[in-house]
Every structure is written in C-alpha cells, then in structure tokens.
Structure 1
Amino acid sequence: MSLHRVESLARTALPEITGDLRTLVELETPSRDKELLNKGLAAVERWTHRRLGPPDLLRRHDGGPHGDMLELLYSGSPHPAAAGPGAATVLVLCHYDTVWPAGTLAEWPFRVTDDGSASGPGVFDMKCGLVQAVWALRLLRELDLPRPAVRLFLNGDEEIGSPASRPHIERLSEDAAATLVCEAAAGQEGALKTSRKGVGLFEVTVVGVEAHAGLDPYAGASAVHALAELVTRVAALGDRERGTTVNVGTVSGGTGSNVVAGRAHCRIDVRIAAPAEAARIDAALAALRPADPRVRITVTGGWNRPPMVPGPASRLLFERARSIASDLGRPVSETSVGGASDGNFVAALGRPVLDGLGAVGGGAHARHEHVLLDHIPSRTALLAGLLTAHAQ
C-alpha cells in the first residue's frame, strides 16, 4: 500500500524530521511577544520553502498586536483532477505560538532522551504537529502520490484565543473539503479529537467603599467580602452532568489588612459541552447581585470559542481516518476533551473538521511537555492518507 511507503520514508527520515523539530522548538515564539513571533514566523517561512519549495500562493496576514498569520497554498498534483476547476482544497491548521515566555529555552533546552522522546517548550503543543504536516505533504510529492490542493495556515495567536486569526480561519474553511487540525493527539495511544468544549473567559470587578477597618469599619462596604460571596455562587454554576465546568482562577483585591477593601477582581474560565449552556451561564452572570447595595459589580468578557460538536460530515471524516490508521496497523480511537482549538470555529459553522492529528506525547503547557518520536512516521502517514483521500 502506498501509505506504507510514506510511513517507511518518514521512518528513514526520522533523524532529519527530528532536526526540523529542534529547529522550530529553538525558535521562541511566546503568544504575547510580537517581536519574537515576527522573527519566528520568518524562520518558519524559510523552513517551509526548503522542505516544500515556493508555494503557489503566499499571503501574510497582519495580526495587529498579535502574531501574524501565514497562508500557503500548494496545488494538487500530479493528477489533473486534483488541480482542475472545482477541485477539493484541504485546509490544514497549525499554530506556531506557544505559552512559554522568552528565556524558557535557556533553562529548558530541546533534548532527545534515551527513551525515545523529545522535550522542549512547545514541542508537543504544537510544533511537532506543524513539522508532521509539512513532511506529510513533502512525502506525498516525493512519492508522486495523488494529493488535493493544500492550504496550510499558520496561526500566531492560538494560545490566546485566536482573536486576530479567527475571521481568516472561518473564511478559509468555507470552501474546504475538510479542515485538518494538527493539534496534539490525546493520550499515549494518539486518540483523535472529535469533540471539544467551548470556552468562556470572564472577569468580575467589584467596587466597594473604603474605610478604616478599626476606626470606622461600618462606614465601609468591603469589595473583598462581596467577591467572596459571589465566588461561591459563580462556582456553583458548574454542572457535571451537562459537561459544564466553572473555574475561578485568580482573585485579587484590597490594599491592606486594616482597610475595608474598595476594589476586588476575579477571572473565570468556563467550559461547556452543549451550546445551549452559553445562554444559561450568560444569564446567571448578568444576574449577579451583592448583598450590600453600596457595592457595584461589573462582569466583562465573553465566549472565546464555541463548543466543537461533530456533524455528519465530521463523523465521516473520522471514519475515514480510522480506516486509514487501521490499514497502517496503528488503530486510532476518538475522544472528547475540555481544551479548545481553532477546530471549534470550523465545527460551529457545520463544516467537516478533524482534530488531534499532531504529535503523540503529553504534558501540554507543563515542564514535562514531550513527544514520542516513534509515533511521528505513522502520524505523518495518517495525515498524508487523509490528504490523498481527498484527491481521489
């Protein structure tokens, strides 16, 4: 089978692929550092040109204060049907930004361990997925196998919710036969992600009345006390049966132990599995009222990503992936996860999308972040199989 040839070539090229992974990991690209993001994206662009040659179309989209985006189109070939009018285009989504701040690499460099894993900031989430995507296309071309037009979209603000890139992702997915997301797989067996929770990010600001805690305590209205009361009510909005979680992640307020606090603040992370839960949470947050009428409450923020709920077309896409993986001798399962990705935007529009096609490993956003190098050839072949399936 031709995909076994892809996997075999990828295994032969694994040292070179690992070298590419090192190159990308050693480009520090924190989501909130525009200068490093610009430098990193320029290097990634040069790397894609080395591996794939110049694209048929290249557009760099300005992210404003956020990371820029790179759109690369490679036409389908060698079969005329794959490149003619009306031919399928597959959108491949990757992000090059990471959660790790500048300077992390100095204390945690890229390294390959004796057990066959590679670690380093961003290696799992998701620079390995980007490397696998480029190599999947490279090996299809090298073996002269059918492939559709592939639009590779590299996002520089995914880790902060894709505020600049979302409109581009929604526009580009409109005409795509499928959107393949190279975020990391789930678990050591590499499960694909067919469902993800939606994410809401909210902030509650409480303004009270300051007073001296000893001399005139009753003249004050504590913002900290009011917020403490509200936090328990906010946390109670979680509903395990509905798949809704509510986490008050940070709390701050007050100026001193002897001052009745005039101001307090908290940040809230909400995850929902069902789209209808958004309205319930919105209504509950809008209805928050303090016990003391002198205290004022302001709720800001909103829904960062809608839930990723697979429609019929996405179900078919997973079944196709499962068949390809089985043929390769690496069966895959599906799972639902609490984290969100750019695939959420595509799914919410009812378009076919499959997520979790990237690295197998673990430790996203943690110091034990790593990828299992032995899985790279089969994951690269799986992605290549999904691409070539859309060219036939």
Structure 2
Amino acid sequence: MSTILNFLKENQDSITKTLMRLTRTESPSHTKELVDQCGDVLKAEFESLVGGTVEMIEKKEVGNQYKFTYGTGDETEQILIIGHMDTVWDKGAIPIKQDGDLLYGPGVFDMKGGLAITLWALNALREKGVQGKRKVVFLVTTDEEIGSEHSKEIILEEARKSSVVFVPESSISPHAAVKTERKGAGQFTLNITGVSAHAGINAWDGASAIEELAFQIIDLKKLANREEGISVNVGVINGGTRVNVIAKEAIAEIDVRITKKNQAEKLARQIRNRPVFVEGTKVVITGEIERYPLERTESVIELYKQLKEIAHTHGYDLGEGSSGGASDGNFTAGLGIPTIDGLGPQGDGAHSENEHVFLSNLPYRAALLAEIILKHIH
C-alpha cells in the first residue's frame, strides 16, 4: 500500500471534517451571498491544508471564483484540476446527516466531495515534499450547475496552459467508475409567431403558432439517432392565451446531446434551418451547442490506464464508463486537452434527496488523485 494512501487513511476523520464544513456552508447557484460564504470556507481550507497561492476572481452575477495554485513549476504546461462549489439545492432543502459510513447532504456528491478530496490530495503531496516541473492549478467555479456562462472563458484560458485536466466531479455509481466519455450538450429555443383570430368567427383567417409548434416537435424528433448517440428533447413548451383564440405565439426549449464533436455542426444546422409547415407562421431559432463531448480518445484511455494501475496498487479495480450529462470537463476536452472526469468519491444520488458519499472512500479517492498528479508533475 502506498505511503500516500496510508497518510490519507490516517486522516480520514480530518477529510470528513473538511467535507462537512463545505457541505454545511450551503451554496445554491443563484444565491451569490451563500456561494461566497462557501468560497471563504474553501479558501481557508486551501490555505490551511496546502498553503499555495490564492487568486479570487470576482463576479457580480454569481459567486466569486477561485484559482488555487500548488507549486511553482517552471514548465510552460501546468496540471489543471477543475471543480465547482455551487449546488442545485436551495438552502435548507435537504438535511445534512451522517448514517454510519454515509454522509448525506446538498452537493455532498456533486461535487463538494470532489473539492474535499482535491484539497487533501494536494495536502498529501505537500506533506511528502513533492514539488515538480509543473505547477498544479485548482480552478473552482460557481455557476456550473446553471450553464457556466460566467466561468467558461477562465476555464478555457487555464486549459490552454495545461498538459492534462483532472475533473473530480461525481463518479459513476455504484462502483465509483471514472468517466472516460461524456456527451456534449446544446440548448436551443424555438420561437414561433402566428396570426391571431377568433377561433369560431374567423377560424380560417388565423395561423396557429401552436399548430406549427406541434409539427416542429415531430420533425425535430426525427433528428435523434439512438445508434449514433444523438438525443433531442423538447423539454418545455408554452403558447397561446385563451382556448377560443388562435395562438399568435408559441415557444419551445430544446435540449440536444451528442457523442462526437463532428456531429455538432451538422445537428446545429439542422435545428436552425427549420422548414415552416403552417402558412402564415414564422419560426426563429436561437441557441447553440454549448459543450463538445468528452470523447474516449487514445490520450484519455492512457490516463485511465494510469489511474487503473494506481488503483490496483491500492487494492481495488477501477472501472470506467460514460455519462449523458455534461460538465466543465467538456470545455477542456473540446480543446483537445487530455481530460478525465468522475474522479470524485464513491456515492450516489446527485441532484436527488438521497445524495450521499461513502466516507471510507474519501482517502482512496484523494490518494488516486494525488498519485496521478505525481505521474504528471515531473
């Protein structure tokens, strides 16, 4: 068993306390004041455990973001770890409780567990006196759960300086497999304008936006391709004013997922270039493919093999898998930077009232991250 893993196992209670402090400082994406309080806790933990340099990136619309740096490596390419401290939960929405080896709470799995194991992975490297040619940058954002509009540029900026990216997002349940693939994602809005009229007196003078929307939904679903991993979901629709008025307006919000980067341009073009089915209506499409897929490339497979080898020395087998959900790792993968995701601790229930992590797994996951960093820092 590695000395790093032994050190972290000896500190399991302290890792748990770090995670508890982060979890208790609730941080719903849309409440800047609370997210900033969580940032204060995260900053204090980093300074105590790692002692590197801290840069706060002030934001007005969302919580302030942080760039933490360990080491002063002289090589041009750094090691990048990306995470987020915002959660999908309003304050007090679900209780924080410990039941034996399980810790339940808002964001504990997605992804405060990942933040805690990253802090302790870097602490283990510090305690072992590890310094390398590359510095490690731990970038923590505050709007991942609401689309990363205010963090995308800093993520891309740091990714372009990096040789590899590790994402301690929630692992794949139930066996804590890492993510070697993630679907890319896009969102589009379909706005339809028709011609209103009295549904009884002037039934044939109008042009129904709702009728056009119905045709559009059926046609859009034809773009989905299960074999190629392309999904199209019309998740929100709205239109009309009264039952006896032909609808002048209708709107639909569309979510798309892709598995290959080369699918993105074609699918976006097919969505934007809509035919019109109901004479007198007008269709306007806005939106884009926001995140390219994290594809299982040769460089990603090599990272997984390295992780699997480390896990074997720790006494367990590390699996891999794919996710239909996207993360900030999609941004870095889209640039062609070797990126591996799902490095967070074993748990389950992301975005559900059952959200939890296994406390006994925290040292193992921190050690896994520490030792993969060790392979790339020199």
The answer as to whether partners of 1:238 and 1:245 remain within 8 angstroms in 2 is yes
Corresponding letter in the other structure for 1:65: E
CA RMSD for the aligned pairs? 1.9
Q: Tell which deviates more after alignment, 123-132 or 7-16.
A: 7-16
Q: Are 1:131 and 2:127 matched, yes or no?
A: no
Q: Does 1:24 find its partner at 2:22?
A: yes
Question: What TM-score do the two structures reach when normalised by structure 1?
Answer: 0.91
Number of the residue aligned with 1:96: 85
State which of 266, 285, 290 in structure 2 corresponds to 1:304: 290
In the alignment, structure 1 residue 254 sits paired with structure 2 residue 240: yes
Closer, same or farther in 2 for the Cα pair 1:181/1:213, shift >3 Å?
same
CA contact (8 A) 2:36 2:63 kept: yes
SS at match of 2:140: strand
Aligned to 1:7: 5
In the alignment, structure 1 residue 245 sits paired with structure 2 residue 231: yes
- Residues 321, 386 of structure 1: 8 Å contact kept: yes
Partner of 1:80: none
- Aligned counterparts of 2:290 and 2:269: Cα–Cα separation in 1: 17
Aligned equivalent of 2:56: 60
Code of the aligned partner of 2:219 = R
1:306-321 equivalence runs, <5 A: 306-321=292-307
**In structure 2, distance between residues paired with 1:184 and 1:322:** 17
Q: Which amino acid aligns with 2:161?
A: D
Structure 1 position 227, deviation (Å): 0.7
Question: What is the deviation of 1:73?
Answer: 1.0
SS in 2 for 1:32: coil
Equivalent-residue separation in structure 2 for 1:286 and 1:390 (angstroms) = 43
- The answer to whether the 8 Å contact 1:111/1:119 transfers is yes
SS in 1 for 2:223: coil
Aligned equivalent of 1:143, options 128, 142, 159? 128
- What is the aligned partner in structure 2 of residue 79 from structure 1? none
Alignment of 1:71-110 (within 5 A): 71-75=67-71, 83=73, 85-86=74-75, 89-101=78-90, 103=91, 105=92, 107-110=93-96
Evaluate the alpha carbon distance shift between residue 252 and residue 141 of structure 1 in structure 2; reply closer, same or farther with a 3 A threshold: same
Q: Does 1:42 align with 2:28?
A: no
Q: TM-score, normalised by structure 2?
A: 0.94
What are the superposed Cα offsets for residues 233-266 of structure 1, whole Å, 9 maximum, x if unpaired? Answer: 1122110111101111111111122221111111
**Alignment-derived partner of residue 282 in structure 1:** 268
Instruction: State which drifts further: 346-355 or 377-386.
Output: 346-355
How far apart are the structure 2 equivalents of 1:98 and 1:127? 9
Q: What secondary structure sits across from 1:134 in the alignment?
A: helix
Gaps of 5+ in 2: none
Contact 2:272 2:286 in 1 (8 A): no
Equivalent residue of 2:204, what SS? helix
Deviations 1:199-247 (A, max 9, x none): 0101101111222223322222221121111111112211011110111
2:45–2:119 contact (8 Å) kept in structure 1: no
1:360 maps to which residue?
346
Aligned-partner residue type, residue 28 of structure 2: P
Q: Distance in 1 between matches of 2:105 and 2:199?
A: 49
Q: Distance in 2 between matches of 1:28 and 1:208?
A: 45
Which deviates further from its counterpart, 9-18 or 262-271? 9-18
> Aligned equivalents of 1:344 and 1:297: distance in 2?
30
Question: Displacement of 1:360 after TM fit?
Answer: 1.3
Contact 1:311 1:350 (8 Å CA) reproduced = no
Amino acid in the other structure paired with 2:129: D
Q: CA-to-partner distance for each residue in 1:124-144, whole Å, 9 max, x for gaps?
A: 110100000001111222233
1:174 and 1:309 map into 2 onto residues whose CA distance is 18
